[in-house]
Structure 1
C-alpha cells in the first residue's frame, strides 16, 4: 500500500475513512487497562502527530506494541477516522503494526519524553532533529532556502557555484582557515614544504570567507548572478550570533548601483518572510506557543513596514545627541556597537533601517569610493533582534581607485591581478550584497542562539561530527 504522510492527512481530504499506511517514530505510548494502546506517531513532515489506536487483538500487542517507547520506528496500516478524543482531529484504527527499529536502553535515550533544555539537546546534534523544535526550525529553514532561490530565479538571476577553497582574502580581514595536506605534527616538514611550495596546491590556500570576488567575474559577463553555500570565518568569537561555518547568499548585478541593490535586498527579505507566513503556519503556531508569542504579528508587521534609509554620518549625529544613553564610544569612523544598533532599530526609528555611505576605512577594498573620498557606497540592513542581516555595496569599477584601495589595505596586488582584469576589459558599474542564512532564520523564528538554526554548528572549540 502507498505510504501516506501526516502532512497529507491534515492538508488533504481524500484519506478519511480509507485504509492508510504511515511510517514514523513513536512520541508517546499510553496504555489502557482494557487492552488498548494509544500511540502518538510523528513522521517529520509536519508539527502534527497522528494517534494510533492499537487493540489487544493485534497479534503482536503483548509481545511488541506495549513495549514501544519514544523514538521507536514503526510502520502502521489502518483505517483513518475522525477522533472521538478532544486532543486530536484524526486517529488510525490499526490493523497492522510493524516495529522497524527499537531503542536500545530507553532509560539512557538522550531525547526521552521528559522536557530537555535547548543546551542539552545541542550536545546530541545527530539526534536533536527528532525534537519538535528542531523539526520546526528545519522545515522553516528549508522553506527560506527554496524561497530565496525561487525569488532570484524569477528575476532572471543565474546560480553560480563559487570556490570553497581560495587563495584570496575577499574581506581583507585575515580571519581565514588555512587548508593544507602537510603533517601538522612535523614542523620541519611544514617549514620546508611551505618555503618550496610543495604543498598540495603549491601555494597557501584557505576556506573562503566569501565567494563574492569570483562571483563578480560571472556578473561581468552574465549580468545577474548569485551563489549560495557555506563560508568560513576563523574569528575567535563565541557569541550567540556567530558561527565559524555558516551559509551565505551572495548576489551580484551588473549595470546597477547602491540604491537599486539595497531596494532589491529589502524586497528579497520581505518575500522570503511572506513565503514562511504562507507555507509554515503550523510551524509558526508552534513557535508562538513555545518561543515568541508575537511571532506572527511581528513577521506580518515586518513585511508591511518601509525600511528607513539613512546615511552613516546622520546616524552618528543621532547617537551623539543621545550619547547619555550609551557607555560605548560614539566616533565618526568607528563601527556601531550592538547596543547602538538596537537603539536605532528598536527605540529611535522603531523600524528596520538601511545605513548607507560608511567610512571607507570600515569597509572592504572592493567597495566603490564616493566623491568625498572618505566614504564608500556601502550599506547594511539592520533588523530588530538581530542587527545586521545584509551587507552590500556598489563595487569599485575604476581600476585606479581599486589599485589605491588594495594598497591602502596592505594586500598583495599580484593576488588580485585577475580581479583587476574585470576592470581592464570592459568594466561596468555593478553592485551586490550578502545575506547570512542563519541570521535570517534567527530573525524569523525568534530563536536566541544561532547554534539552533544550523544542523551541525561549528563554533570556537566545537567541530563535532
Structure 2
C-alpha cells in the first residue's frame, strides 16, 4: 500500500511511534540547537516538520538537503514544541533520494509570479498555490462523477476525433495523416481528403453534445466528461485551446427540468469542495485577500468562501432574456453610459451585463432563458413565437456565464429547417437528424466548461492556472 502520506501522519496522535516520511523539502533552517526540515508530499497544503540535532548527520549529507530535494526520513512522531503544527518527526534516519542544486532550482522560498510559474509548468505543482488548485480540481472531478452516478446517469465516452462541428464556429483543429509537403490534389486543385486516413476531413471535437444526444435517446440519462478543443486565436484570461467539458443529456427533460438539474448539480459539486477542501480553500482565500489589498475598496471581490456560499445558499433567480434586457435598459449603468457594450434586444449579452444582473440587481445566481434564435445554436428548440429558443444560461458572480444549455429541437422538420438556415449541409449530420425520425422525444442538456468551474471555485484570475499544462496560442511546450 506504500508509506503513510503526510496528510495521514499529521492527523495521528503523537506517541513516539516510528514513522517514515517521504517528500520534497520546502525549507531547511538551522539553529545552534536544532535543524528543521519542512517536508511536503502533495497530499495536503500543510508541511510536516522533521527535526534533527546538530551533528546528528554529516555536514556532507545535510549539504544536499536543500529546497526541492527529495528525502526519506525516519523518526519518532512527537508533539511539536513550536507553533503552527501539532506534531513533528524527531529524526533517526535521513536518506536523500534526489538533490536539487539551489543555484539552478527555480522554486525558492519566496513569492513567484503566476506568469513565471507558467514558464515552469513542470514544477509549479510543487508550489502551495498550484498543489491546492490541483487537489481541488481532483475533488471537483470526483464530485461530478459521483453526482451523476447517484442520479442514475451513464458516463458516455464521445469521440475526440469528429467530422462534425457541433457549435458551427468552424474554429477547429484539423486531424490528418496527409504529407503536408506533398498534399494530394483534386482535378480542381483542392486538397483531396479522400486520400486522408478517414477518407474525409476530420477535426478534434469542440463538444460531445451531438453524440451525447444519441446516447440519451437510448439510455435516457447520460453525461460526457472529456477533452474538447477550440482553435480560437484568443489570449484572454477565459480561453484555452484544450479544456474539459461536462455535458449531460437527458431524454424526457424539458427546459424547467434542465434548469432544476443544472442548479442542483453546481450546488452539490461546490458543496463537496467546501466540505472536502477546507484547508486548500482557506489558503487560496488568504492568498486572494493579500492580492485584493492593493485594489480600491469598491473594486474588491467577495472573499472566496463567501462567494462560494453565495452560490450554494441562494435559490437561482430565473427570468427570460427579454426580461433581462428590460432590466438592463432601465439600469443606472446603462442610463449613465457606463456599460462598455450596448444593450438592446437581440444582442449576445456580454460578461458585464451578466455580472450586473447577478451581483448588482438580483444579488444571487441567475438563469436566463428563451434567447433570440439568431444568437443561439441550430439544435435548440424553437419557442411558439418563432423568435426565441428554449435556451438557458446559468450566470455566476465574478465570471458571468458558467453553464449553457437548452431543450433540444426534437421535431425533424423544424430541425432540418434550422440546419438549412445556418448553412450546414444536412448530409454531414444525417445520423443526428435521423434520431428525430425514429422514436423522437423531448430532451434537454447543458454544457459546463470544467476549467471555468475550477476557476470559480479556486478564485484564480486566469484560466491557464487551473489546468496542469495549459494550451493556448503559441504555447504547447509541456
Distance 1:395 1:196, change over 3 A: closer
Q: Is the 8 A contact 2:251 2:443 kept in 1?
A: yes
Q: C-alpha separation between the residues in 2 aligned to 1:194 and 1:445?
A: 46
Matched, 1:433 2:442: no
Matched, 1:226 2:239: no
Q: Deviations over 1:192-218 (max 9, x none)?
A: 783261011110001000000011111
Displacement of 1:101 after TM fit? 0.3
Deviation at 1:241, TM superposition (A): 0.8
* Counterpart-to-counterpart distance in 1, 2:38 and 2:472: 36
Partner residue, 1:53: 51
* Paired position in structure 2 for 1:106: 102
1:133 aligned partner: 129
Partner of 2:472: 459
- State the alpha-carbon separation in 2 of the partners of residues 127 and 185 from structure 1: 37
1:335 alignment counterpart = 348
The corresponding residue for 1:362 is 375
The structure 2 residue matched to 1:175, chosen from 167, 171, 175, is 171
What residue number does 2:19 align with? 20
Distance 1:162 1:331 in 2: 38
1:299 corresponds to which of 308, 323, 327: 308
Which of 380, 384, 397 is matched with 2:397 structurally? 384
Hey, what does 1:8 align to over in structure 2? 8
User: Is the partner of 1:147 in helix, strand or coil?
Assistant: helix
Deviation at 1:12, TM superposition (A): 4.1
Deviations 1:163-189 (A, max 9, x none): 000000101111111111123344566
List per-residue Cα deviations over 1:304-354 (Å, max 9, x = no partner): 101110100111111112222324221211101122112111111111100
Q: Tell me the alpha carbon deviations over residues 413-438 of structure 1, each in whole angstroms, 9 at most, x when there is no partner.
A: 10111111111110011000011111
- Name the SS for the 2:138 alignment partner: helix
**Matches for 1:346-425 after TM superposition, within 5 Å:** 346-425=359-438
Report what 1:165 is aligned to: 161
Going from structure 1 to structure 2, the CA distance change for 1:183 and 1:18 (only over 3 Å counts) comes to same
Alpha-carbon distance in structure 1 between the residues aligned to 2:58 and 2:28: 12
CA shift at 1:6, angstroms?
1.1
Residues in 1 aligned to 2:15 and 2:153: alpha-carbon distance in whole angstroms: 43
Q: Would you say how many aligned residue pairs link Structure 1 and Structure 2?
A: 461
Cross-structure match for 2:39: 41
8 Å contact from structure 2 (residues 402, 453) kept in 1: yes
DSSP 3-state at the match of 2:106? coil
Instruction: Pick from 81, 84, 90 the counterpart of residue 84 of structure 1.
Output: 81
Q: Distance in 2 between matches of 1:126 and 1:275?
A: 28
Does the aligned pair in 2 maintain the 1:182–1:189 contact within 8 Å? no
Question: Cα distance 1:292–1:392, how it changes in 2: closer, same or farther (>3 A)?
Answer: farther
Q: Could you say if the C-alpha distance between residues 336 and 196 of structure 1 is closer, same or farther in structure 2, counting changes exceeding 3 Å?
A: closer
Q: Are the aligned partners of 2:258 and 2:444 in contact in 1 as well (CA < 8 Å)?
A: yes
368-377 vs 175-184, greater mean Cα deviation: 175-184
Aligned residue number for residue 203 of structure 1: 200
Task: Show structure 1 runs of 5+ residues with no match.
Answer: none
Aligned position for 2:214: 217
Partner of residue 62, structure 2: 65
* 1:135 to partner: Cα distance: 0.1
Q: Which moved more, 1:62-71 or 1:443-452?
A: 62-71
Which residue of structure 2 aligns with residue 30 of structure 1? 29
Moved more, 252-261 or 340-349: 340-349
CA contact (8 A) 1:258 1:393 kept: yes
**d(CA) in 2 for partners of 1:454, 1:369:** 36
Distance 1:85 1:169 in 2: 60
- 1:119 has 2:118 as partner: no
Question: Contact between 2:351 and 2:399, CA under 8 Å: does it hold in 1?
Answer: no
1:446 to 448, 452, 459: 459
What do the CA deviations read for 1:351-407 (whole angstroms, capped 9, x no partner)? 110000011111111111110111110000010011110000001100000000000
Query: What is the SS of the residue equivalent to 1:151?
Result: helix
Structure 1 290/50 Cα, relative in aligned 2: closer, same or farther at 3 Å?
A: same
Aligned to 1:283: 280
Q: Secondary structure at the match of 2:464?
A: helix
Question: SS in structure 2 opposite 1:108?
Answer: coil
Deviations, residues 116-164 of structure 1 (Å, cap 9, x unaligned)? 1111111111110000000000000000000011000000000010000
Q: State the TM-score, normalized to the length of structure 2.
A: 0.93
* Contact 1:380-1:390 at 8 Å conserved across structures: yes
